[in-house]
Amino acid sequence: MVTRVGRFILDIFKGAKGIGSLFIQIVYWIVFGPFKKKTAKLESIFYQMGFAGLRSIVIVFFVAIFTGIVLAMQSAYQLEKMGAVIYVASLVSISLCRELSPVLTALVVAGRVGSAIAAELGTMKVTEQIEALETMAINPIRFLAVPRFLALFFMLPCLTVVGNISGIMGGFIVGSGSLNINPYLYMQTSFKYLELKDVYTGLLKSFVFAMIIALIACFEGLNTTKGAEGVGRSTTRSVVISFILIILADCFLTAIFYFSNI
């Protein structure tokens, strides 16, 4: 038992060290020219942005709009008892922009894009394609990890904005339809108590979540072993670890933004 716990702790430190090293290398290659023709090209980055962003819009839209609908219905049930149904609008908008939209969007992207990155890089690793790149003097971090990191870094905040709008729209559907709130009054109340801080803190969270997803997915993919079984294991680990770290990061960031004197 003690041996297993010790091995688990050592694996955590080893993984953290590897992820930290990967992050340093990615930042290095971002600063020192990822756009040269020999390696990661702009076309590759744009392709990854399309895969990570444009192809995720539909699922983010539906997740956010139904979340807004459910949140509005659940909160209306309680607020109606206090005669404050109109505040459903502000509750939905603030909850989504601060918390739900960044986190849910990150979880969706981690499940869809993060798993795909880990599986793709893992397959390249076990089929020795990454070794082939190294043989051609092409750095795999620069060629494979940097475009995916940049794509997620820029597209996840955009998807979060889509989630904010979609979730507020879902609340609007319930408020103006089922709760008989005047549509103009609903929208006015939605933005009356919504501060700029609520929006930009949610976007800042999404940047952090994007880095977590990209780093974990690339690290797991590039360190895949044991053939097809290893690819499946790396994909699963990528999603699970990303989910856990997203929730942990959200807790720390919320404490910093809203429960500190900073």
Nearest to 214, CA basis, from 119, 117, 139, 123: 117
39 CB neighbour count, 10 Å cutoff: 21
CA distances from 188 to 159, 172, 184 (A): 24, 11, 6
d(CA 262, CA 198): 15
Q: What is the token pair recorded at 124?
A: 């390249």
Residue 9 lies in a domain: no
Q: Does 117 fall in a domain? A: yes
Q: What is the CA radius of gyration of the chain?
A: 21
> Which amino acid is residue 125, in one-letter code?
K
Residue 47 domain boundaries = 41-258
Position 156 in a domain: yes
Provide the number of structural domains found in the chain. 1
How far apart are alpha carbons 190 and 176 in whole angstroms? 12
Residue 173 lies in a domain: yes
pLDDT at position 18 is 83
Within-domain flag for 151? yes
pLDDT one digit per residue (tens) for the chain, 262 residues: 767 767 767 777 777 888 888 899 999 888 876 555 544 467 788 888 888 988 899 999 999 999 999 998 888 888 877 777 888 888 999 999 999 999 999 999 999 999 999 999 999 988 888 888 888 888 888 888 999 999 999 999 999 999 999 999 999 998 888 888 888 888 888 888 888 888 999 999 999 999 999 999 999 999 888 878 889 899 999 999 999 999 999 999 998 887 765 5
Please report whether residue 74 resides in a domain: yes
Looking at residue 104, what is its pLDDT? 95
157 within some domain: yes
Place of tokens 């904010």: 164
Question: How far apart (Å, rounded) are the C-alpha atoms in residues 114 and 106?
Answer: 10
Neighbours of 223 (CB within 10 A): 17
